[in-house]
Amino acid sequence: MRSLFITATGTNVGKTHTTLKLIEAFARKGVRTGVFKPIETGVTGEPEDAKALLEACRSVNPDFAGLTPADITAYTFSLPAAPFCADTGRMIRLEKIFEKHEELSKRCDLLLVEGAGGLMVPITQTYKMIDLAKDLNCPVLLVTPSRLGCINDTLLSIEALQSRDIDFEWCVNLYEDRERFAEVTQPYYDAVFPEWWSMEKNLEAFVNRLR
Tens-place pLDDT, residues 55-100 = 999 999 999 999 999 999 999 999 999 999 999 999 999 999 999 9
pLDDT of residue 1 exceeding 80, the answer is no
Annotate 156-177 with DSSP letters as a single string. Answer: HHHHHHHHTT--EEEEEE--TT
For residue 211, name the pLDDT band (cuts at 50, 70, 90).
confident
Could you tell me if 79 and 86 are in contact, meaning their C-beta atoms sit under 8 angstroms apart? yes
At 14-63, the pLDDT tens digits run 999 999 999 999 999 999 999 999 999 999 989 999 999 999 999 999 99
Q: What is the pLDDT of residues 115-154, one digit of tens each?
A: 999 999 999 999 999 999 999 999 999 999 999 999 999 9
**Predicted TM-score (pTM) of this structure:** 0.96
List all residues 6 or more positions away from 64 whose beta carbon is below 8 Å from its beta carbon. 34, 35, 54, 57, 58, 72, 107, 108
- Determine the average pLDDT of the residues in 182-203: 96
Nearest to 3 by CA among 111, 135, 143: 111
pLDDT reading at 210 higher than 90? no
pLDDT one-digit tens code per residue, 151-177: 999 999 999 999 999 999 999 999 999
DSSP-assigned letters across all residues of 174-190: --TTHHHHHHHTHHHHH
Question: What mean pLDDT value characterizes the chain?
Answer: 96
What would the DSSP string read from start to end of 79-96?
S-S-HHHH-TT----HHH
Q: Which of 15, 21, 29, 37 is catalytic?
A: 37
Are 23 and 67 within 8 A, CB to CB?
no
Known active-site residue 21: no
Pairwise CA distance, residues 138 & 101, whole Å: 12
Q: Domains in the chain, start-ordered, CATH in brackets? A: 3-210 (3.40.50.300)
Cα gap 72→181, rounded to integer Å: 35
